[in-house]
Structure 1
Amino acid sequence: MVRRMRRLAAVAVGGLAALLLPFTFAEPAKAAPKAPPAGVDITGHGLAEPLKLRADSHPAHVVAVIEQVNFRGLVRQSTKPKTADLGPKYTVVVLAGDVPKQTYDLYPKAVGGPRVFRPAKQPDARKTTAAWFLGRVSMSETLRTAGVPLERTHETVSGGVGGGERIIPEDSLNPAQDINEAFVELRRLLLLNVAVVLVITIGLAGIALLIRRRTR
Protein backbone atom coordinates (compact mmCIF):
# COMPACT_ATOMS: atom_id res chain seq x y z
CA MET A 1 0.00 0.00 0.00
CA VAL A 2 2.79 2.39 0.95
CA ARG A 3 4.69 1.70 -2.26
CA ARG A 4 1.55 2.26 -4.32
CA MET A 5 0.92 5.63 -2.65
CA ARG A 6 4.51 6.68 -3.26
CA ARG A 7 4.24 5.75 -6.94
CA LEU A 8 1.00 7.72 -7.29
CA ALA A 9 2.61 10.71 -5.58
CA ALA A 10 5.63 10.58 -7.86
CA VAL A 11 3.41 10.40 -10.94
CA ALA A 12 1.30 13.34 -9.73
CA VAL A 13 4.32 15.51 -8.98
CA GLY A 14 5.93 14.66 -12.29
CA GLY A 15 2.77 15.48 -14.21
CA LEU A 16 2.34 18.79 -12.39
CA ALA A 17 5.91 19.82 -13.03
CA ALA A 18 5.68 18.81 -16.69
CA LEU A 19 2.59 20.96 -17.17
CA LEU A 20 3.76 24.08 -15.32
CA LEU A 21 7.47 24.36 -15.94
CA PRO A 22 7.35 24.91 -19.73
CA PHE A 23 5.09 27.94 -19.19
CA THR A 24 7.32 29.61 -16.61
CA PHE A 25 11.00 28.82 -16.78
CA ALA A 26 11.28 28.31 -20.51
CA GLU A 27 10.99 31.28 -22.82
CA PRO A 28 7.87 31.34 -25.00
CA ALA A 29 8.42 29.62 -28.32
CA LYS A 30 8.56 32.10 -31.16
CA ALA A 31 8.10 31.41 -34.83
CA ALA A 32 11.21 31.90 -36.89
CA PRO A 33 11.07 35.34 -38.52
CA LYS A 34 10.35 35.28 -42.22
CA ALA A 35 13.05 36.65 -44.48
CA PRO A 36 12.00 39.96 -46.05
CA PRO A 37 11.43 40.17 -49.82
CA ALA A 38 14.46 40.86 -51.95
CA GLY A 39 13.68 44.55 -52.19
CA VAL A 40 11.46 47.37 -53.40
CA ASP A 41 11.67 49.93 -56.18
CA ILE A 42 10.10 53.35 -55.57
CA THR A 43 9.29 55.85 -58.30
CA GLY A 44 7.30 59.05 -58.20
CA HIS A 45 7.24 62.79 -57.59
CA GLY A 46 10.68 64.30 -57.05
CA LEU A 47 12.61 61.14 -57.91
CA ALA A 48 14.74 61.56 -61.04
CA GLU A 49 15.38 57.80 -61.12
CA PRO A 50 13.91 54.80 -59.28
CA LEU A 51 14.91 54.43 -55.66
CA LYS A 52 16.14 50.85 -55.38
CA LEU A 53 16.20 49.37 -51.88
CA ARG A 54 17.45 45.83 -51.35
CA ALA A 55 17.15 43.59 -48.30
CA ASP A 56 20.88 42.82 -48.20
CA SER A 57 21.87 46.49 -47.93
CA HIS A 58 18.75 48.23 -46.50
CA PRO A 59 16.73 45.53 -44.68
CA ALA A 60 15.04 47.91 -42.23
CA HIS A 61 13.90 50.26 -45.00
CA VAL A 62 12.60 47.38 -47.13
CA VAL A 63 10.55 45.97 -44.25
CA ALA A 64 9.23 49.41 -43.29
CA VAL A 65 8.09 50.24 -46.82
CA ILE A 66 6.42 46.85 -47.30
CA GLU A 67 4.63 47.32 -43.99
CA GLN A 68 2.90 50.34 -45.54
CA VAL A 69 1.15 48.03 -48.02
CA ASN A 70 0.44 45.25 -45.54
CA PHE A 71 -3.35 45.25 -45.52
CA ARG A 72 -3.78 43.75 -42.06
CA GLY A 73 -5.33 46.56 -40.05
CA LEU A 74 -5.88 48.86 -43.03
CA VAL A 75 -9.38 50.15 -43.73
CA ARG A 76 -10.70 49.64 -47.24
CA GLN A 77 -12.56 52.49 -48.93
CA SER A 78 -15.68 51.88 -50.97
CA THR A 79 -15.18 54.93 -53.19
CA LYS A 80 -12.21 56.44 -54.95
CA PRO A 81 -10.86 59.66 -53.40
CA LYS A 82 -10.94 62.83 -55.46
CA THR A 83 -7.86 63.10 -57.65
CA ALA A 84 -7.29 66.71 -56.55
CA ASP A 85 -7.07 65.55 -52.90
CA LEU A 86 -4.48 62.81 -53.42
CA GLY A 87 -1.29 64.82 -53.75
CA PRO A 88 2.02 63.35 -55.00
CA LYS A 89 2.02 59.69 -55.97
CA TYR A 90 4.77 57.14 -55.28
CA THR A 91 4.67 53.70 -56.86
CA VAL A 92 6.17 50.84 -54.86
CA VAL A 93 7.12 47.62 -56.64
CA VAL A 94 7.91 44.62 -54.42
CA LEU A 95 10.58 42.28 -55.80
CA ALA A 96 11.30 38.61 -55.24
CA GLY A 97 14.88 38.28 -56.40
CA ASP A 98 14.92 40.44 -59.52
CA VAL A 99 11.32 39.64 -60.42
CA PRO A 100 8.58 42.24 -59.75
CA LYS A 101 5.74 40.62 -57.82
CA GLN A 102 3.43 43.34 -56.53
CA THR A 103 2.84 47.02 -57.18
CA TYR A 104 1.05 49.69 -55.15
CA ASP A 105 0.48 53.44 -55.42
CA LEU A 106 1.07 55.42 -52.23
CA TYR A 107 -0.23 58.92 -51.54
CA PRO A 108 1.40 60.12 -48.29
CA LYS A 109 0.09 63.71 -48.56
CA ALA A 110 -3.54 62.96 -49.40
CA VAL A 111 -6.21 65.15 -47.79
CA GLY A 112 -7.63 63.37 -44.74
CA GLY A 113 -4.65 61.05 -44.37
CA PRO A 114 -2.42 58.81 -46.50
CA ARG A 115 -3.97 56.52 -49.09
CA VAL A 116 -2.91 53.24 -50.71
CA PHE A 117 -4.15 52.05 -54.10
CA ARG A 118 -3.81 48.44 -55.22
CA PRO A 119 -4.10 48.19 -59.03
CA ALA A 120 -5.97 45.24 -60.46
CA LYS A 121 -3.08 44.59 -62.85
CA GLN A 122 -0.12 43.16 -60.95
CA PRO A 123 3.36 42.26 -62.26
CA ASP A 124 3.02 38.58 -61.40
CA ALA A 125 -0.31 38.33 -63.27
CA ARG A 126 -2.14 37.18 -60.14
CA LYS A 127 -5.87 37.80 -60.00
CA THR A 128 -6.96 40.64 -57.77
CA THR A 129 -9.26 43.63 -57.76
CA ALA A 130 -8.47 47.32 -57.71
CA ALA A 131 -8.95 48.75 -54.23
CA TRP A 132 -8.33 51.87 -52.16
CA PHE A 133 -7.24 51.81 -48.52
CA LEU A 134 -6.62 54.33 -45.79
CA GLY A 135 -2.84 54.36 -45.33
CA ARG A 136 -0.81 54.32 -42.15
CA VAL A 137 -0.02 57.68 -40.61
CA SER A 138 3.69 56.80 -40.66
CA MET A 139 3.75 56.58 -44.48
CA SER A 140 5.32 59.97 -45.13
CA GLU A 141 8.12 59.51 -42.60
CA THR A 142 8.76 55.94 -43.76
CA LEU A 143 9.18 57.04 -47.35
CA ARG A 144 11.27 60.04 -46.33
CA THR A 145 13.73 57.99 -44.28
CA ALA A 146 13.95 55.52 -47.16
CA GLY A 147 15.15 58.31 -49.47
CA VAL A 148 12.01 59.87 -50.96
CA PRO A 149 12.28 63.69 -51.05
CA LEU A 150 9.45 64.54 -48.63
CA GLU A 151 9.33 67.17 -45.90
CA ARG A 152 9.76 65.88 -42.39
CA THR A 153 6.55 65.45 -40.42
CA HIS A 154 5.62 64.21 -36.96
CA GLU A 155 3.69 60.96 -36.73
CA THR A 156 0.14 61.07 -35.41
CA VAL A 157 -1.29 58.66 -32.88
CA SER A 158 -4.85 57.80 -33.87
CA GLY A 159 -4.67 54.03 -34.18
CA GLY A 160 -2.12 53.81 -37.00
CA VAL A 161 -4.54 54.36 -39.91
CA GLY A 162 -5.96 57.49 -41.48
CA GLY A 163 -5.25 61.15 -40.94
CA GLY A 164 -5.24 61.31 -37.15
CA GLU A 165 -5.65 64.37 -34.96
CA ARG A 166 -2.99 64.56 -32.25
CA ILE A 167 0.69 65.20 -32.96
CA ILE A 168 3.58 63.85 -30.88
CA PRO A 169 6.28 66.53 -30.47
CA GLU A 170 9.84 65.28 -30.56
CA ASP A 171 10.72 66.68 -27.14
CA SER A 172 7.96 64.58 -25.53
CA LEU A 173 9.53 61.27 -26.53
CA ASN A 174 11.12 59.31 -23.69
CA PRO A 175 14.06 57.18 -24.88
CA ALA A 176 14.12 55.25 -21.58
CA GLN A 177 10.50 54.17 -21.80
CA ASP A 178 11.18 50.93 -23.63
CA ILE A 179 13.89 49.96 -21.13
CA ASN A 180 11.59 50.61 -18.19
CA GLU A 181 8.84 48.54 -19.75
CA ALA A 182 11.29 45.70 -20.33
CA PHE A 183 12.29 45.71 -16.64
CA VAL A 184 8.63 45.70 -15.58
CA GLU A 185 7.92 42.66 -17.78
CA LEU A 186 11.01 40.90 -16.42
CA ARG A 187 9.89 41.53 -12.86
CA ARG A 188 6.44 40.13 -13.63
CA LEU A 189 7.99 37.01 -15.12
CA LEU A 190 10.19 36.49 -12.06
CA LEU A 191 7.23 36.89 -9.72
CA LEU A 192 5.28 34.37 -11.75
CA ASN A 193 8.15 31.90 -11.54
CA VAL A 194 8.35 32.34 -7.75
CA ALA A 195 4.60 31.81 -7.42
CA VAL A 196 4.75 28.57 -9.42
CA VAL A 197 7.70 27.32 -7.35
CA LEU A 198 5.71 27.98 -4.17
CA VAL A 199 2.70 26.12 -5.54
CA ILE A 200 4.86 23.12 -6.45
CA THR A 201 6.58 23.20 -3.05
CA ILE A 202 3.27 23.33 -1.18
CA GLY A 203 1.95 20.50 -3.34
CA LEU A 204 4.98 18.34 -2.59
CA ALA A 205 4.66 19.08 1.13
CA GLY A 206 1.00 18.10 1.09
CA ILE A 207 1.70 14.85 -0.74
CA ALA A 208 4.54 14.02 1.65
CA LEU A 209 2.26 14.68 4.64
CA LEU A 210 -0.45 12.50 3.16
CA ILE A 211 1.98 9.65 2.60
CA ARG A 212 3.34 9.99 6.13
CA ARG A 213 -0.15 9.76 7.62
CA ARG A 214 -0.97 6.71 5.52
CA THR A 215 2.21 4.91 6.62
CA ARG A 216 1.56 5.36 10.33
Structure 2
Amino acid sequence: MVRQVRRLLAAVTGALIVTAASLALVGAPVRAAGVAPPKPPPAGVDISGDRLGEPLRLRADTQPVEVGAVIDQVSWLGSTGQQRGPAADSLGPKYTIVVLAGEVPRSTYDLYPLARGGPRVYRPARQPGPGKAKAGWFFGRLNMSESLRTAGVPLERQFDTVSGGVGGGERVIPEDSMNPAQDIDEALGELQRLLLLNVGVMLVITFGLAGIALLIRRRTH
Protein backbone atom coordinates (compact mmCIF):
# COMPACT_ATOMS: atom_id res chain seq x y z
CA MET A 1 0.00 0.00 0.00
CA VAL A 2 2.81 2.33 0.96
CA ARG A 3 4.66 1.50 -2.28
CA GLN A 4 1.58 2.27 -4.34
CA VAL A 5 1.19 5.66 -2.61
CA ARG A 6 4.86 6.46 -3.24
CA ARG A 7 4.52 5.50 -6.91
CA LEU A 8 1.42 7.69 -7.22
CA LEU A 9 3.16 10.65 -5.59
CA ALA A 10 6.19 10.19 -7.84
CA ALA A 11 3.98 10.06 -10.93
CA VAL A 12 2.08 13.19 -9.88
CA THR A 13 5.33 15.04 -9.07
CA GLY A 14 6.81 14.10 -12.46
CA ALA A 15 3.72 15.26 -14.26
CA LEU A 16 3.82 18.60 -12.44
CA ILE A 17 7.49 19.09 -13.33
CA VAL A 18 6.86 18.32 -17.01
CA THR A 19 3.87 20.67 -17.06
CA ALA A 20 5.82 23.48 -15.42
CA ALA A 21 8.68 23.06 -17.86
CA SER A 22 6.29 23.10 -20.80
CA LEU A 23 4.63 26.28 -19.57
CA ALA A 24 8.00 27.92 -19.13
CA LEU A 25 9.06 27.07 -22.67
CA VAL A 26 5.75 28.31 -24.11
CA GLY A 27 5.78 31.46 -22.02
CA ALA A 28 9.28 32.50 -23.07
CA PRO A 29 8.40 33.37 -26.69
CA VAL A 30 5.27 35.17 -25.51
CA ARG A 31 7.27 37.37 -23.18
CA ALA A 32 9.90 37.95 -25.88
CA ALA A 33 7.21 38.93 -28.36
CA GLY A 34 5.81 41.40 -25.86
CA VAL A 35 9.11 43.25 -25.57
CA ALA A 36 9.18 46.42 -27.68
CA PRO A 37 11.77 46.37 -30.47
CA PRO A 38 14.74 48.62 -29.91
CA LYS A 39 14.32 52.18 -31.14
CA PRO A 40 16.14 53.02 -34.37
CA PRO A 41 19.19 55.21 -33.91
CA PRO A 42 18.49 58.94 -34.23
CA ALA A 43 18.83 60.43 -37.70
CA GLY A 44 21.30 63.18 -38.40
CA VAL A 45 23.06 65.19 -41.09
CA ASP A 46 26.66 66.21 -41.72
CA ILE A 47 27.22 69.48 -43.60
CA SER A 48 30.49 70.48 -45.25
CA GLY A 49 31.34 73.19 -47.74
CA ASP A 50 32.31 76.81 -48.26
CA ARG A 51 33.91 78.53 -45.23
CA LEU A 52 33.35 75.50 -43.01
CA GLY A 53 36.65 74.45 -41.49
CA GLU A 54 35.15 71.13 -40.38
CA PRO A 55 31.79 69.49 -41.08
CA LEU A 56 28.77 70.46 -39.02
CA ARG A 57 27.44 67.35 -37.29
CA LEU A 58 23.78 67.69 -36.43
CA ARG A 59 21.86 64.93 -34.63
CA ALA A 60 18.12 64.61 -34.17
CA ASP A 61 18.35 63.81 -30.47
CA THR A 62 20.00 67.15 -29.71
CA GLN A 63 18.99 69.39 -32.64
CA PRO A 64 15.73 67.97 -34.04
CA VAL A 65 14.52 71.25 -35.55
CA GLU A 66 17.73 71.95 -37.46
CA VAL A 67 18.02 68.35 -38.68
CA GLY A 68 14.41 68.33 -39.85
CA ALA A 69 14.83 71.63 -41.69
CA VAL A 70 17.92 70.42 -43.55
CA ILE A 71 16.44 67.04 -44.46
CA ASP A 72 13.31 68.83 -45.69
CA GLN A 73 15.43 70.44 -48.39
CA VAL A 74 15.97 67.06 -50.10
CA SER A 75 13.25 64.73 -48.82
CA TRP A 76 10.78 65.75 -51.54
CA LEU A 77 13.04 65.16 -54.56
CA GLY A 78 11.63 62.98 -57.30
CA SER A 79 13.29 60.05 -58.96
CA THR A 80 14.32 62.02 -62.05
CA GLY A 81 15.89 65.45 -62.26
CA GLN A 82 17.36 67.60 -65.00
CA GLN A 83 20.43 66.07 -66.57
CA ARG A 84 22.05 69.41 -67.33
CA GLY A 85 22.63 71.93 -64.57
CA PRO A 86 23.27 75.68 -64.58
CA ALA A 87 26.61 77.21 -65.56
CA ALA A 88 29.25 76.66 -62.91
CA ASP A 89 29.87 80.38 -62.42
CA SER A 90 26.20 80.95 -61.53
CA LEU A 91 25.93 78.35 -58.77
CA GLY A 92 27.65 80.18 -55.91
CA PRO A 93 28.91 78.37 -52.78
CA LYS A 94 28.34 74.62 -52.51
CA TYR A 95 27.35 72.72 -49.37
CA THR A 96 27.32 68.94 -49.29
CA ILE A 97 24.97 67.26 -46.84
CA VAL A 98 25.10 63.62 -45.86
CA VAL A 99 21.92 62.15 -44.37
CA LEU A 100 22.59 59.51 -41.72
CA ALA A 101 20.69 56.79 -39.91
CA GLY A 102 22.46 56.82 -36.58
CA GLU A 103 26.07 57.17 -37.70
CA VAL A 104 25.61 55.27 -40.97
CA PRO A 105 25.57 57.48 -44.13
CA ARG A 106 22.55 56.82 -46.32
CA SER A 107 22.43 59.56 -48.95
CA THR A 108 24.28 62.67 -50.03
CA TYR A 109 23.35 65.86 -51.92
CA ASP A 110 25.01 69.07 -53.07
CA LEU A 111 23.11 72.24 -52.17
CA TYR A 112 23.58 75.65 -53.82
CA PRO A 113 21.51 78.12 -51.77
CA LEU A 114 22.73 81.26 -53.57
CA ALA A 115 22.51 80.03 -57.15
CA ARG A 116 21.43 82.59 -59.72
CA GLY A 117 17.75 82.15 -60.47
CA GLY A 118 16.99 80.31 -57.24
CA PRO A 119 18.48 77.58 -55.02
CA ARG A 120 19.54 74.33 -56.69
CA VAL A 121 20.10 70.75 -55.53
CA TYR A 122 22.31 68.18 -57.23
CA ARG A 123 21.92 64.49 -56.41
CA PRO A 124 24.98 62.47 -57.47
CA ALA A 125 24.50 58.97 -58.79
CA ARG A 126 27.02 57.57 -56.34
CA GLN A 127 25.41 57.30 -52.93
CA PRO A 128 26.80 55.93 -49.66
CA GLY A 129 23.72 53.82 -48.91
CA PRO A 130 22.72 50.51 -50.46
CA GLY A 131 20.09 52.01 -52.76
CA LYS A 132 20.69 53.38 -56.24
CA ALA A 133 19.95 56.93 -57.33
CA LYS A 134 19.74 58.67 -60.67
CA ALA A 135 21.93 61.73 -60.94
CA GLY A 136 20.01 64.93 -61.56
CA TRP A 137 19.54 68.63 -60.87
CA PHE A 138 16.53 70.04 -59.04
CA PHE A 139 15.22 73.48 -58.13
CA GLY A 140 15.57 73.90 -54.37
CA ARG A 141 13.26 75.32 -51.78
CA LEU A 142 13.32 79.10 -51.45
CA ASN A 143 14.14 78.86 -47.73
CA MET A 144 17.29 76.80 -48.31
CA SER A 145 19.68 79.61 -47.39
CA GLU A 146 17.89 80.38 -44.12
CA SER A 147 17.60 76.69 -43.20
CA LEU A 148 21.33 76.19 -43.68
CA ARG A 149 22.15 79.41 -41.87
CA THR A 150 20.05 78.36 -38.89
CA ALA A 151 21.88 75.03 -38.86
CA GLY A 152 25.21 76.83 -38.53
CA VAL A 153 26.34 77.45 -42.12
CA PRO A 154 28.04 80.88 -42.47
CA LEU A 155 25.55 82.55 -44.81
CA GLU A 156 24.18 86.08 -44.79
CA ARG A 157 20.64 86.38 -43.52
CA GLN A 158 18.02 86.59 -46.25
CA PHE A 159 15.20 88.84 -45.02
CA ASP A 160 13.21 88.47 -48.24
CA THR A 161 13.24 84.67 -48.34
CA VAL A 162 9.82 83.09 -48.76
CA SER A 163 9.16 80.27 -46.30
CA GLY A 164 8.86 76.80 -47.87
CA GLY A 165 7.90 76.07 -51.44
CA VAL A 166 9.93 74.83 -54.33
CA GLY A 167 12.47 77.14 -55.90
CA GLY A 168 12.51 78.84 -59.22
CA GLY A 169 12.47 82.51 -60.12
CA GLU A 170 14.46 85.23 -58.42
CA ARG A 171 14.96 85.05 -54.69
CA VAL A 172 15.55 88.77 -54.22
CA ILE A 173 12.46 91.00 -54.03
CA PRO A 174 13.25 94.64 -54.85
CA GLU A 175 12.49 96.99 -51.98
CA ASP A 176 10.58 99.42 -54.17
CA SER A 177 8.11 96.64 -55.05
CA MET A 178 7.17 96.46 -51.39
CA ASN A 179 6.22 100.20 -51.22
CA PRO A 180 2.45 100.62 -51.68
CA ALA A 181 2.64 104.45 -51.72
CA GLN A 182 5.05 104.37 -54.63
CA ASP A 183 2.79 101.92 -56.46
CA ILE A 184 -0.20 104.28 -56.00
CA ASP A 185 1.79 107.29 -57.23
CA GLU A 186 2.93 105.37 -60.29
CA ALA A 187 -0.64 104.24 -61.00
CA LEU A 188 -1.97 107.81 -60.73
CA GLY A 189 0.80 109.08 -62.98
CA GLU A 190 -0.01 106.47 -65.61
CA LEU A 191 -3.72 107.37 -65.38
CA GLN A 192 -2.94 111.07 -65.80
CA ARG A 193 -0.77 110.42 -68.85
CA LEU A 194 -3.50 108.24 -70.34
CA LEU A 195 -6.14 110.95 -69.84
CA LEU A 196 -3.91 113.58 -71.43
CA LEU A 197 -3.30 111.30 -74.37
CA ASN A 198 -7.03 110.73 -74.81
CA VAL A 199 -7.72 114.47 -74.64
CA GLY A 200 -5.03 115.10 -77.25
CA VAL A 201 -6.51 112.49 -79.56
CA MET A 202 -10.00 113.97 -79.15
CA LEU A 203 -8.72 117.48 -79.96
CA VAL A 204 -6.97 116.22 -83.09
CA ILE A 205 -10.13 114.46 -84.24
CA THR A 206 -12.28 117.51 -83.47
CA PHE A 207 -10.02 119.92 -85.37
CA GLY A 208 -9.79 117.43 -88.21
CA LEU A 209 -13.57 117.16 -88.52
CA ALA A 210 -13.93 120.92 -88.29
CA GLY A 211 -11.39 121.39 -91.08
CA ILE A 212 -13.14 118.83 -93.28
CA ALA A 213 -16.53 120.49 -92.67
CA LEU A 214 -15.12 123.93 -93.51
CA LEU A 215 -13.55 122.58 -96.70
CA ILE A 216 -16.80 120.97 -97.78
CA ARG A 217 -18.75 124.17 -97.08
CA ARG A 218 -16.45 126.28 -99.20
CA ARG A 219 -16.71 123.90 -102.14
CA THR A 220 -20.49 123.72 -101.99
CA HIS A 221 -20.77 127.49 -102.04
- 2:45 corresponds to: 40
* Residue identity matched to 2:72: E
- 2:157 corresponds to: 152
Q: State the alpha-carbon separation in 1 of the partners of residues 83 and 163 from structure 2.
A: 24
1:25-68 CA-partner distances (Å, limit 9, x unpaired): xxxxxxxxxx9951000000010000000001000000000000
Q: Could you tell me the TM-score, scaled by structure 1's length?
A: 0.56
Moved more, 65-74 or 47-56: 65-74
Q: Is the 8 A contact 2:95 2:112 kept in 1?
A: yes
Q: State the alpha-carbon separation in 1 of the partners of residues 76 and 92 from structure 2.
A: 21
1:124-180 CA-partner distances (Å, limit 9, x unpaired): 1321110100000000000001100000002137954223467499xx9xxxxxxxx
- 2:28 corresponds to: none
* Residue identity matched to 1:122: Q
Alpha-carbon offset, residue 80 of structure 1: 1.5
* Residue identity matched to 1:116: V
Q: Which SS does the other structure have where 1:77 is aligned? A: coil
- How many pairs align? 136
**Alpha-carbon RMSD:** 2.9
Q: Is the 8 A contact 1:88 1:109 kept in 2?
A: yes
Q: Does 1:143 align with 2:148?
A: yes
Gaps of 5+ in 1: 1-34, 173-216
Q: Structure 1's 165 and 130: CA in aligned 2 closer, same or farther, altered over 3 A?
A: closer
Superposed counterparts of 1:197-216, under 5 Å: none
Sequence identity (%): 58
- 2:131 corresponds to: 126
* Residue identity matched to 1:42: I
1:105-132 CA-partner distances (Å, limit 9, x unpaired): 0000101000000000000132111010
Q: Could you tell me the TM-score, scaled by structure 2's length?
A: 0.55
Larger RCO of the pair (alpha carbons < 8 Å, separation 6+): 1
- 1:100 corresponds to: 105
Gaps of 5+ in 2: 1-39, 179-221
* Residue identity matched to 1:143: L
Q: Is the 8 A contact 1:40 1:54 kept in 2?
A: yes
Q: Structure 1's 111 and 74: CA in aligned 2 closer, same or farther, altered over 3 A?
A: farther
- 1:85 corresponds to: 90
- 1:208 corresponds to: none
- 1:161 corresponds to: 167
